[in-house]
Amino acid sequence: MRWEGNEQSDNVEDRRDEGGGGGGGFGFGGRGIGIGTVAVALIAGWIFGINPLTVLGLLSGGGGPAPQVQQQGPAHKPPADDREAAFVSTVLKNTEVVWSDIFRQSGGTYRPPKLVLFRGATPTACGTGESAMGPFYCPGDKKVYIDLGFYDTLRNQLGAPGVFAQAYVIAHEIGHHVQDELGITGKVDQMRGRLSQTQNNAVSVRVELQADCFAGVWAHHSQQSKQWLDPGDIESAMNAAQKIGDDALQRSAGRAVVPDSFTHGTSAQRQRWFSTGFKSGDLRDCDTFAARGL
Ligand SMILES: [Zn+2]
C-alpha cells in the first residue's frame, strides 16, 4: 500500500503520553486481574470487539476498584514525524472521504469519528479502555481506540504482517462506526436484553461480519479512487481476517472449537464477508442480518 504523502485526518487524538500504562504493558491498574484472566480476556474479547469492555467486566466479577486512569489533558495531535501515527491518520482520512461519498449518494451525511491513540489504559464513554482488549469502537463517545502496540501483536503473535492488514484493522473499527451511524448498533443493543447468551453470540457474529464487509466496501472504493494497493495487499488483509477468526483463535489457544461461543465468526466467514464488500463496493451486499448462510 503506497500511503505515504497522502492527506491525513484531523480526527486523530494522541493520548499516548498520558500514562495509565501501569508499567506492566497490560495496564490493568489497581483492579488486580491475574495473567490468567488476561489470557482469557485476550481470547474472548480479542480483536475488534464492538465493546470488549464488557468481557473484562464480566471476567473480573465487575466489582473491585476501577483501574487508575489519569485525568486527560486537552486533546492533541500526534507529532508530525511519527510514521505509524501518520499511517493511521492517512487511512482514517481515506475512510472519511469514502464513507462521506457513500452517505452523500444516498442523501445522508457521514459524521466521522475520532480515533484515539493510547497506551495501557484510557477513559472512554464505555468504561476504561485497555490495550489487552485490542482495538475497539465505543458507540457512547463515537471514538475508535487503538494502542499501536497491537500492530506488533498482529504481526508477530498472530502471524498477520503487512501494512494493509493494519489498514483493515482500522477499516473494521470504522465499520462499527458506520453501523452506529446507520442505526444498526442501536437496534442490536435494544434486542440484546431479550436474548440468551448463545443468541447474543450469534448476533455478535453478524455485527462483526458486517463490519468486515464494510471494511471491504471501503477497500473497494479506496482502491478505485487512489489505486494505492500493491499485489499482496488484499491477501494480507484476508490473511489477517483468517488469523483472527474465532475458530483459529480457539485452536491456537489449544482449546476445542465451540461454535456457540463464537462472537466474531470463523476465519472463512470473516474472509468471505470482507471479500463480498471488496468485490462489489455496495453496502447492500453487507446485510449479514438477513443472510441465511454466513
Ligand atoms: Zn469488531
| CA 208 to ligand 1 centroid distance, Å | 5
| CA 285 to ligand 1 centroid distance, Å | 18
| CA 96 to ligand 1 centroid distance, Å | 18
Determine the pLDDT at residue 132. Answer: 81
**Which chain residues have CB less than 5 Å from ligand 1, an ion?**
48, 208, 211
| CA 83 to ligand 1 centroid distance, Å | 25
Determine the pLDDT at residue 31. Answer: 39
The answer to whether residues 226 and 186 touch, using CB atoms and an 8 Å cutoff, is no
Determine the pLDDT at residue 73. Answer: 64
| CA 172 to ligand 1 centroid distance, Å | 6
| CA 13 to ligand 1 centroid distance, Å | 20
Determine the pLDDT at residue 193. Answer: 87
The whole model's pTM is what? 0.83
From first to last of its 294 residues, the chain has per-residue pLDDT tens of 999 999 999 999 999 988 654 433 333 333 333 444 444 444 444 444 444 444 334 333 333 444 455 556 678 999 999 999 999 999 999 999 999 999 999 999 999 999 999 999 999 998 898 888 788 999 999 999 999 998 998 899 889 999 999 999 999 999 999 999 999 999 998 988 899 989 988 999 999 999 999 999 999 999 999 999 999 999 999 999 888 887 887 787 777 788 888 888 899 999 999 999 999 999 999 999 999 899
Within 10 angstroms of residue 58's Cβ, the number of other Cβ atoms is 12
Determine the pLDDT at residue 87. Answer: 98
Determine the pLDDT at residue 58. Answer: 39
| CA 52 to ligand 1 centroid distance, Å | 9
Residue with cell 494522541: 14
